[in-house]
Structure 1
Amino acid sequence: MISRILKHPDRILHACCFDLGEQRVRTSSGFRISLRTETSRCIFLTLREENLGLIIRLELFPGSGECRLVIPPGGIIEWKSIRYRLMTLSLLPDFLQTKVDSDGYYLLPVSSGVLVDFRNRPPCKNSDRIYMDQSEWEKYSMLNCFGCLAPKQNFLVIVEEGDFFCRVDSEYNREGVNRIYPTFLIRKKPGERLRFDPCSIRLCDGGAKADYDDLAKIFRRYLLEKRGASLLRERAAGNPELQYSLDALRVKIFLAQKYPYLPDGSAPVKVHTTCDEARVIMDTMKAAGIEKATITLVGWNLGGHDGAYPSHFPIEPAIGGEKALRRLIAHAKQIGYKIVPHDNVTDIYRGSPDFDYEYVARTESQEPLCAGIWGGGQAYKACPLVQLQRYGYEFERIRELGFEGHYYLDAQSTAMWTCHSPKHPADEKEFALALASITAIPRSLFGAIAIECGSVYSIPFVDEVAAIHFGRTSPSLECLSSYPVPFFHIALHGLILYHFSGVQNPNYFPLGHLYETAFGARPCMEISYRNNGGNGGDYRKCIPQILAPYRTCFRDLKLHCVLMESLKEPRPGVYETIYENGTVLVANTTKLPFGEIPPIHLKIHDSRKKSCGRIRKAVPEKK
């Protein structure tokens, strides 16, 4: 691998600079090696580009089946910066080059992973940010890796450092070849200072016959060994709250929200479930045979769901107020359920009694950083570098209500944000990691934490994510005809719990629950007492429909702590999942039979045994 990299020194780097004199972009790949030093563990290179005045220090660390390339802090020197300012720097732009008529795919860091067939495409270029950019949120980019699956060229490339400022560029049929490579953002504007953060990638050889599931297992090993992740079974062993969660259905009960969504948040609160009605829902669940559940109350706080953050108190009067909420919490514990709040520490609304403009993230023009319009009106993003200074004690106040179990934080790991307040500036990395670190507070108070979405950088901080997105195609990728694959599902299964995207709504039953089982997701449902809109479905209909997947997942399979070996699609809509312990699931989500498996059915068998396995319907038979 090293010899292949060093064979063409002029193909190691590609620089893009801004010419201050001519006010235009200049590019160059004309680097030469001016110094080379080899030790027993590393090759040190100094690469020089004369026209743009660049010196780049590069360190290569060979290993078994892999190689790390590192640009260390201070490794970028601009000796013609009076004229040229480095804007971006691409590493190994030709390393994963393929011919247009070659067989194979590129793996892009979009959603749970997508494959793009690079054969005979019209000329085009695609660029995907590592982690999600708000301007292209439909990509749900959570990964810091990409890959190539081609004859004699099966590689996973992991962007280890500089990942918060990196894009993955892929080119198709550009002068008869395809390319995929990382491009690091050095500056956003020519007048900004040079970044001194390291940039590094890890090249991992998947082997001659590798597929995306093999690359996913390489990535899982990286998460465990290098990124701070740990096995779910090891964390649960000494953690009763997490241990309970492994056998429990997560149930979101929608209590109240303001509707319609108005920019000023002036809409009235609409009640979907009172606290007393939520007790009826839980009793119905228990009577139906759901022994363990983590009840997640959505809209318990002032103003209902997304109604008045960062304020939580007083408890929304329309659902019964604090006394009724305490009775509900006590009742959940009495029947053996855990009960937690659906919380949010990222959004802040002008209508909140605790609104403080000093804690709002700012744009470059010093305007408040806007997010969506929800129940509370136009949401602003709180700056996580200072949010705890004013609102950090809220977690203690919430715990004193009696909540107990696997805590949930909404909108926690989504897009890359920045703050330009002169008092608390934060770039993408600082903003994201400060937000992720806040999860340590409820995790330490309650024992386990779940968040919305799960970018790679957040994985060491959490025990559950909702959700790993799959199957949605971003409009910007439609021209590439990308094929979604469960790369991230395979890598994360056994490390954290996760949900499947968009299947909790009753409109997707029973098909959604079959997807949950096939993809190793934790079954969950969103329900309410009153059938009057909102996210929650009618509990009278939803509870009977969740029973079959609940029993399959928590009584029969019990696979959440088992590592996944592969998840393939032998026919469109049919998924075969193989686990480390020999369990094999074949889920037919189509309207046609697949061999002996009827439509919307699941086959379960043990590859270590000779039995033909069991075939079951996704939902109970109607009486």
Structure 2
Amino acid sequence: MLLKALAAATLVAAGWTGGLCAAEMEICWRGKDGKTLTESRPLVEKDGVAVFTLDRDEIVAKKASSVELTPDFARAKNGDRGFWAVSSGETGTFRCDDGKLECKRWQLMSFYGMQTPERTFVAIVRKLKYYFMTRIVAEKGVYRMSCVLDKELASQPYEDLEIEFRRLEGSEASLGGMARAYRRYQLDRGAVKPLTERVKDNPVLKYAIEAPEVRIRQAWKPVPSPVPDQTPENEPPVKAVVPFERVVDIAREFKRQGVDKAEFCLVGWQIGGHDGRWPQVFPVEPSLGGEGRLRACIQAVKELGYLIVPHGNYLDAYRIAESWDEEWLLKDLDGETTMDAGCWGGGAGFRICPQRAYERFMSREMPRMKALGFMGLGYFDVVSVVPARYCGDPRHPLNGAEAARWWGKGAELSKKCFGGFASEGAFDHFAGSLDYGLYVSFNDPQKYPSGLVDRMAPLTSLVYNGIFASNPFTRTVNFTAQDRYCQLKLIEFGGRPAFYFYSKFVSNGKDWMGDNDLHSGTDEELTKSVACVKAGWDVYRQLNHLQFVYMDDHAEVAPGVWRTSYANGERVFVNYNKTAVSINGVEIPAEDWKLVK
């Protein structure tokens, strides 16, 4: 208490005279021997804002394996009114006696929040924000919510830790209020710009956002590969499924069925097919028709009025690539250990250092792709669905912030070459560059409640709708071919639809993009698949103007009925019930949706 009083007195003496409120930050240092040291420090709030800083040198000197920081107002009891939310979109109420959730791998944004009977707050991690963890623990009916540094952030932090806690009151004391506070923070510091500004001089971007994404997996090798260490001599054969001429047939069927806008993305067009020889791209896969027919395909699709872009990958690498060199691989903190990227079409995969990816590959090959005629949101896989990771190689060392900057350079080059940038996910170290994320979450929204989590909320959309577009879940790919729940979930979460021909390609059946697929092997399959896209286009054309508007709120207004509210005053109601529901005079049919302007 004396420390809090002294801190408040110091601020008053410095001229901070209004709205002071003192709290405490509990800091729990865990040593490498498992022993813990817990201390409390003052956390002084002025006019609803408190900033806590932990010095980098102190973190290093402690030699801890982890440090957990918990303000005294981030606590609640089972049965209390309120909720917690983490940036993965997982959120829950205080209904459990025991349990734990850690958000690190899917820490999509640098904030978290909590509402308790005492207050509602949002915590924005302003420094040391790459790869921190948010932890929610319920123990004997008592909840606490903490920011945690572990591994490299506890042993080798690249800067001070700085967290800003903002008290939210009135109408801002909600999940939407937390998202709006973080959005304002991003806008005010110039980290992002709204789509309405960015499309003014970029008609390609405007068209792409208004159109569905249509991905066509053209060719691939067996996945997971039966040959982990591939060479040109033992490389498994490429399975060519959609040659370039068939891509043109698909686009013509789109035109015939009345799909007015679409952005096609060719997946597996490069040597070795999808994930076949990264980072090697050229020559164009010969079994699909080679470069001449690719150029003709691109021209024909554009003449039909559609965009067409390449799928590339500069994070993953395979030994079979002509340019293979372990020098440019991402290394662990020891400077030697390479990072595994699973086993895909090209065999055992490795990660590429972001700096080397830009210097050696992106800067050289994106202009070559541009010369083929591609135009739209150039798609570069994986990078936005993983955290910004350090590289420990002494020849090209990077911390998380530096890694994010190199990936950002690649994204900006994509915009220069093609008109925009898209990737697999929505990690917000790309927020200033990303135009579209293929899916925000791998979670199945129907599996909740589970553990401490009540539901998945559209937190990314609440922050970034109107800044970049996204599809909410892997399960909502090909949404009109999936069950009604998935169809409605994409609408509720404000998604830009993603359709995928041959989304299922994994030999062991561990595919992840919905239960139903699109095919083009026969004319009958093609007609049926395009009809699914047309059904999705008929929905999206009614809603695509909302991609340029901030999403301001999301709430359950009756059992099984959700309302998504936008900054222009429009609202989308989604009714998951098997009977019609009326909300304040708005009739929403059973298992259906309604836009109210």
Task: Report the TM range for the smaller structure's normalisation.
Answer: 0.7 to 0.9
Report how far residue 237 of structure 1 moved. Answer: 0.8
Structure 2 partner of 1:519: 493
Aligned counterpart in structure 1 of residue 98 of structure 2, from 116, 123, 132:
123
SS at match of 1:500: coil
Report how far residue 591 of structure 1 moved. Answer: 4.2
Q: Distance in 1 between matches of 2:97 and 2:373?
A: 60
SS at match of 1:468: coil
Q: How does 1:98-117 map to 2 (within 5 A)?
A: 98-109=76-87, 111=88, 113-117=89-93
Structure 2 partner of 1:552: 539
**1:473-497 deviations in Å (ceiling 9; x for gaps):** 7999943243221122111111111
**Distance of aligned partners of 1:215 and 1:527 in 2 relative to their CA distance in 1, 3 Å threshold:** same
Q: How does 1:41-56 map to 2 (within 5 A)?
A: none
Asked if 1:362 corresponds to 2:362, the answer is no
Structure 2 partner of 1:408: 379
Structure 2 partner of 1:321: 290
Q: TM-score, normalised by structure 1?
A: 0.81
**1:93-128 deviations in Å (ceiling 9; x for gaps):** 32322234422222123x2x2222224x33344432
Return 267-276 or 427-436, whichever deviates more: 427-436
Checking the alignment, whether the CA contact within 8 Å between 1:162 and 1:184 is kept in structure 2 is no
Q: Distance in 1 between matches of 2:430 and 2:98?
A: 36
Q: TM-score, normalised by structure 2?
A: 0.84
Checking the alignment, whether the CA contact within 8 Å between 2:340 and 2:351 is kept in structure 1 is yes
Structure 2 partner of 1:537: 518
SS at match of 1:68: strand
**Distance of aligned partners of 1:195 and 1:560 in 2 relative to their CA distance in 1, 3 Å threshold:** closer
Report how far residue 317 of structure 1 moved. Answer: 0.9
Q: Distance in 2 between matches of 1:276 and 1:227?
A: 44
Asked if 1:337 corresponds to 2:306, the answer is yes
Q: Distance in 1 between matches of 2:503 and 2:78?
A: 57
Aligned counterpart in structure 2 of residue 68 of structure 1, from 51, 57, 61:
51
Structure 2 partner of 1:504: 477
**Distance of aligned partners of 1:151 and 1:577 in 2 relative to their CA distance in 1, 3 Å threshold:** same
Alignment-mate amino acid for residue 351 of structure 1: I
**1:290-339 deviations in Å (ceiling 9; x for gaps):** 22211111111111111111111111111111111011011012111111
SS at match of 2:564: strand
Q: Distance in 2 between matches of 1:163 and 1:583?
A: 34
Checking the alignment, whether the CA contact within 8 Å between 2:205 and 2:420 is kept in structure 1 is yes
Q: Distance in 1 between matches of 2:229 and 2:133?
A: 36
SS at match of 1:143: coil
Asked if 1:221 corresponds to 2:184, the answer is yes
Checking the alignment, whether the CA contact within 8 Å between 2:107 and 2:131 is kept in structure 1 is no
Structure 2, unmatched stretches of 5+, are 9-19, 520-525
Q: How does 1:252-331 map to 2 (within 5 A)?
A: 252-262=215-225, 263-264=228-229, 266-331=235-300
**What's the % identity of the aligned pairs?**
26
Report how far residue 556 of structure 1 moved. Answer: 6.2
Asked if 1:16 corresponds to 2:16, the answer is no
Return 85-94 or 539-548, whichever deviates more: 85-94
**Distance of aligned partners of 1:587 and 1:177 in 2 relative to their CA distance in 1, 3 Å threshold:** closer
Q: Distance in 1 between matches of 2:450 and 2:431?
A: 29
Aligned counterpart in structure 2 of residue 231 of structure 1, from 166, 170, 194:
194
Checking the alignment, whether the CA contact within 8 Å between 1:260 and 1:267 is kept in structure 2 is no
Q: Distance in 1 between matches of 2:73 and 2:7?
A: 7
Asked if 1:438 corresponds to 2:410, the answer is yes
Alignment-mate amino acid for residue 144 of structure 1: S
**Distance of aligned partners of 1:277 and 1:3 in 2 relative to their CA distance in 1, 3 Å threshold:** farther
Aligned counterpart in structure 1 of residue 315 of structure 2, from 343, 346, 351:
346
SS at match of 2:383: coil
SS at match of 1:237: coil
RMSD, matched Cα: 3.3
Structure 2 partner of 1:200: 162
Report how far residue 196 of structure 1 moved. Answer: 5.6
Return 416-425 or 380-389, whichever deviates more: 416-425
Structure 2 partner of 1:155: 121
Asked if 1:396 corresponds to 2:360, the answer is no
Checking the alignment, whether the CA contact within 8 Å between 1:412 and 1:436 is kept in structure 2 is no
Alignment-mate amino acid for residue 263 of structure 2: T
Report how far residue 264 of structure 1 moved. Answer: 3.5
Checking the alignment, whether the CA contact within 8 Å between 2:213 and 2:264 is kept in structure 1 is yes
Q: Distance in 1 between matches of 2:467 and 2:358?
A: 28
**Distance of aligned partners of 1:5 and 1:585 in 2 relative to their CA distance in 1, 3 Å threshold:** farther
Asked if 1:569 corresponds to 2:556, the answer is yes
How many residue pairs match? The answer is 554
Alignment-mate amino acid for residue 295 of structure 2: R
Structure 2 partner of 1:448: 420
Return 450-459 or 263-272, whichever deviates more: 263-272
Checking the alignment, whether the CA contact within 8 Å between 1:257 and 1:270 is kept in structure 2 is yes
Checking the alignment, whether the CA contact within 8 Å between 2:219 and 2:273 is kept in structure 1 is yes
**Distance of aligned partners of 1:321 and 1:453 in 2 relative to their CA distance in 1, 3 Å threshold:** same
Q: Distance in 2 between matches of 1:567 and 1:4?
A: 42
Q: Distance in 1 between matches of 2:165 and 2:23?
A: 19
